[in-house]
Amino acid sequence: MKFTPEQVRALAGQARLGLTDEEAERLAAQLTDVLQEAERLKELDVEGVEPTLFGVQLVNVWRDDAVEASLPRDAALAAAPDVQDGFVKVPRIVEE
Amino acid sequence: MELHDLTVRELRQRLAAKEVSSAEVTEHVLRRIEQLDPHVGAYLTVTADEALAAAKAADEARARGEAVHPLAGVPGGLKDNIVTEGVRTTAGSRVLENWTPPYDATVVRRLKDAGVPVLGKTNMDEFAMGSSTETSAFKKTRNPWDAGRAPGGSSGGSAAAVAAGMGYWALGSDTGGSIRQPAAFCGVVGMKPTYGLVSRFGLIAMASSLDQIGPFTRDVADAAELLNVIAGHDPKDSTSAPGRAPDFTAALKAEAKGLRIGLPKEYFTEGISAEVQAAVRQAAAELERAGATVEEVSLPHAEYALGAYYMIVSAESSSNLGRYDGVRYGRREAGADVPAMMTATRALLGPEVKRRIVLGTFVRGKERLPEYYMRAARVRTLLRRDFEQAFEKVDVLLTPVTPTTAFPLGRRVRSQMEAYAADICTVAVNLAGLPALSMPCGVGADGLPIGLQFIGPAFGDAQVLQAAYTYEQLAWPEGAGRAWRAGKEVDVDGH
C-alpha cells in the first residue's frame, strides 16, 4: 500500500506531531518504502504461531506492598516548564 | 604506551600497585578530551569536576587501605540516553536539550557505588534512532580513523571515545545494533547482553522489548569487567531477569577445543561485501585450526528480520516517545491550547524520529494491528525459534556485523530501506533477546576496521565472552581494540 501525504498528516495529528507540508510529502514516500519491506512478511505462514510481545518470558512481576521512598515532589517538578502551587501548569484544556 | 592506551585491567593493576593515581589518569584523559574532542565530537557534556572528585575519592580510599571495587577510579563515558542525576541528559534531541534528570539510572548508581568516575555524556543519534550518529540534534561525531566517515550509531559517541583514547570504557545502548555496529566501525569491542541482564531503569526508552545497555571496551576482558558492574537483577525494572549475575571474568578462558561454532549461511549473502565475508571466514578458519568445530547452519527466516524489526521498533518507540509532549519536563513550545502546545513541541523532533512515530502510529492503529504489528510479532517468534534450533547444534554463531566498513558521513541513500539495511546482521539478535559481541577481525581495503559478531543463546553471555576471548587470544593477543589502535594516531583534520 502507498502512503499519501493526507494519511501522514492524519497519523501525525493522532500523534500530536507537528509536520510541515514538505515533511508530510517526504514521509509518505519514505514510509511507503518501509511498508513494502513489511509487506514481505505476508509471504510467511504464521498460522498458529504465538506472537512474541516481550523481551523476556516473565509474567506478573510483583514487589512487596511496602512503602518505599519515592521522588520528592520538588525534584519531580524541578524541570517543569511552568509550575503553580505545586502543580504543572499548561494552557487551557477546558473551553470556557 | 600512553596512559590513555591502557586497558581497564592494566590500569586497575597500576592503581592497585600505586604506580599511578586515579586523579592523574582522569586528568590525563580530560586533557586529551579537551585537545581531541573538538575534532571528533564524541562528547555532548563533559563532567570534569565530578569525574575528578570521584577519582580523588578512589585514591583516598586506596591510600587508607580500604577494600575498593577493582574498577574504582577507572574513568569512562555514558551514552546520553542514560539518565544522570544533576547532569544534563539530552538523548541527542532538542526536546531534552536542557533537561537535568532528578535521578540516576541503575547502571549509573552501580558505577558510582563502585567508585567509577564518569567523564561525561556521549553523542548519539536522536532517541537512539539511526546508524551513524548523524541524526543527533547537536553535532556529528567523526570516526576517529577517518574524519570523513561515520562512527556508526546510534552509540557513535561512546564508540569513538573508547577508540580515540578519550575514556577507558563507555556504555551504550543497543536496540537493533546500536552498540555492535559502531564497535565494528570504530575498531573496538562492543557487547549487547541478553535482554533483561542489565537494568533498563534510567535508560531513556526507545523500544522496551528490545533495548539493552552494554559496554564498549578495548578488549574482551574489559567487557567482562564492565558487565560485572552493571549486570544483575534490579527491582526497579520489571523486565529485569531475576537473580544475581555470575562473575563474567570467569569466562575468560582461551579454549578453542570443544567450541562448536555455527556460520549461518543467510548472513553470508550478496548483501554483505566480499571483504567483510572473507575477514569473518578467516576468523572462523583460525578458530578451527586451534581446535574449534565450524559448521554451516541455517536461520531460515533471516530475510524477514528487517521487516519485522521495523514494524515492532516503530510501534514500540512511537508509544514510548508519546511522553515528550512539553508538559512535565523538556522543551515546551507555546500553544493556544494543550493539543497545539504538544504539536508545536513535538515539531522539534528530527526527521528520523518523526518517521518512526508516524509509522508506529499507523502500525498500532486498531485496523492495522493484526496485519502489520501482530504479524511481525509472530515472525519474531519464528526468528527466535530459528536461533533456538541452531543452538541445539552449536555453542555460538559467528557472523559479520555490518555489510561494509564505516560509510562516509553525509552518504546519500536511494531508499529508506537502503539506510536501514545497515542493520541487517544485528536486528534479529534483539528480536530474539540474545547476547552478542562485536569485535575487530580485520582491515578493509580502505584501512578501516572490519568487525565480527559472536551470538549466543539466551543468558549465554559467558559463552559469548569465552568464544570472543578465545578468538582474541589467537588473533589479537594484546587486545582486539587496542591492537587496532596501536601506532595509529587519531586522524581528524590532521590532529
Quickly list DSSP for B197-234.
SB--TTBPPS-TTT-EEEEEESSHHHHHHHHHHHBS--
Q: What is the pLDDT of residue A58?
A: 82
Answer yes or no: is B21 within a domain.
yes
- Asked if A37 and B307 come within 8 Å (Cβ–Cβ), the reply is yes
How many domains does the structure of chain B reveal?
1
B211: Cβ–Cβ under 8 A, 6 or more apart, which residues?
B128, B173, B174, B175, B200, B203, B205
Q: Which of B21, B22, B79, B438 is catalytic?
A: B79
**Closest to B183 (Cα-Cα) out of B142, B217, B209, B234:** B217
B395: Cβ–Cβ under 8 A, 6 or more apart, which residues?
B259, B260, B261, B456, B460, B463, B467
Residue B79 is among the residues annotated as catalytic for this protein: yes
Cα B322 from Cα A15, distance rounded (Å): 7
Residue B393 is among the residues annotated as catalytic for this protein: no
Task: Search chain A and give the residue with CA nearest B338.
Answer: A91
Give chain B's mean pLDDT: 96
Pick among A9, A31, A37, A40 to test the B interface (most B CBs inside 10 A): A37
Instruction: Specify whether the CB–CB gap between B365 and B436 falls below 8 A.
Output: no
| Residues of chain A contacting B341 with CB distance shorter than 8 Å | 90-91
| Residues of chain A contacting B386 with CB distance shorter than 8 Å | none
Q: What is the pLDDT of residue B406?
A: 97
Answer yes or no: is B352 within a domain.
no
Identify which of A40, A51, A78 has the shortest CB distance to residue B378.
Answer: A51
**Closest to A52 (Cα-Cα) out of B205, B432, B237, B459:** B432
Answer yes or no: is A37 within a domain.
yes
Answer yes or no: is A73 within a domain.
no
Identify which of B99, B103, B376 has the shortest CB distance to residue A38.
Answer: B376
Cα B74 from Cα B8, distance rounded (Å): 7
- Asked if A55 and B239 come within 8 Å (Cβ–Cβ), the reply is yes
Q: What are the pLDDT digits (tens) for B230-279? A: 999 999 999 999 988 999 999 999 999 999 999 999 999 989 999 999 99
Answer yes or no: is B64 within a domain.
yes
Per-residue pLDDT band for B491 (boundaries 50, 70, 90) equals low
A94 contacts chain B (CB < 8 A): no
Answer yes or no: is A60 within a domain.
no
Rounded to a whole number, what is the distance in angstroms from the first to the last CA of chain A? 43
Q: What is the pLDDT of residue B4?
A: 94
**What are the backbone angles phi and psi of residue B155, rounded to the nearest 5°?**
-95, 40
| Residues of chain B contacting A39 with CB distance shorter than 8 Å | 307
Q: What are the pLDDT digits (tens) for B210-220? A: 999 999 999 99
| Residues of chain A contacting B307 with CB distance shorter than 8 Å | 37-41
Task: Search chain A and give the residue with CA nearest B347.
Answer: A18
Q: What is the pLDDT of residue A57?
A: 80
Residue B18 is among the residues annotated as catalytic for this protein: no
Q: What is the pLDDT of residue B493?
A: 53
A41 contacts chain B (CB < 8 A): yes
Average pLDDT, integer, range B190-201: 98
Answer yes or no: is A69 within a domain.
no
Give the minimum alpha-carbon distance from B215 to chain A in angstroms, rounded to a whole number: 20
| Residues of chain A contacting B303 with CB distance shorter than 8 Å | 40
Answer yes or no: is A55 within a domain.
no
Q: What are the pLDDT digits (tens) for A34-75? A: 999 999 999 999 999 999 999 888 888 888 899 999 999 999
Task: Search chain A and give the residue with CA nearest B313.
Answer: A53
Provide, rounded to the nearest whole percent, the portion of chain B with pLDDT above 90: 93
Cα A30 from Cα B357, distance rounded (Å): 13
Burial class (CB in 10 A: 0-12, 13-18, 19+), B65: exposed
- Asked if B420 and A34 come within 8 Å (Cβ–Cβ), the reply is yes
- Asked if A93 and B376 come within 8 Å (Cβ–Cβ), the reply is no
Answer yes or no: is B112 within a domain.
yes
Q: What is the pLDDT of residue B495?
A: 45
Answer yes or no: is B408 within a domain.
no
What CATH number did the domain enclosing B468 receive? 3.90.1300.10
- Asked if B306 and A71 come within 8 Å (Cβ–Cβ), the reply is no
Per-residue pLDDT band for B488 (boundaries 50, 70, 90) equals confident
For residue B443, the SS3 value is strand
Answer yes or no: is B361 within a domain.
no
Dihedral sign of CA atoms B318, B323, B325, B330 in order: negative
For residue B398, the SS3 value is strand
DSSP β-ladder status, B43-46 and B118-122: antiparallel
Cα B148 from Cα B88, distance rounded (Å): 29
Query: Above 70 in pLDDT, residue B126?
Result: yes
Answer yes or no: is A56 within a domain.
no
Q: What is the residue range of A26's domain?
A: 5-43
Q: Angle of helix A21-39 relative to helix B351-364, nearest 10 degrees? A: 60
Answer yes or no: is B490 within a domain.
no
A52 contacts chain B (CB < 8 A): yes
**Closest to B45 (Cα-Cα) out of B99, B109, B116, B8:** B99
How many domains does the structure of chain A reveal?
1
Answer yes or no: is A9 within a domain.
yes
Cross-strand partners of B295: B262
Q: What is the pLDDT of residue B413?
A: 85
- Asked if B377 and A11 come within 8 Å (Cβ–Cβ), the reply is no
Q: What is the residue range of B161's domain?
A: 3-259+459-485
Answer yes or no: is A36 within a domain.
yes
Cα B40 from Cα B490, distance rounded (Å): 9
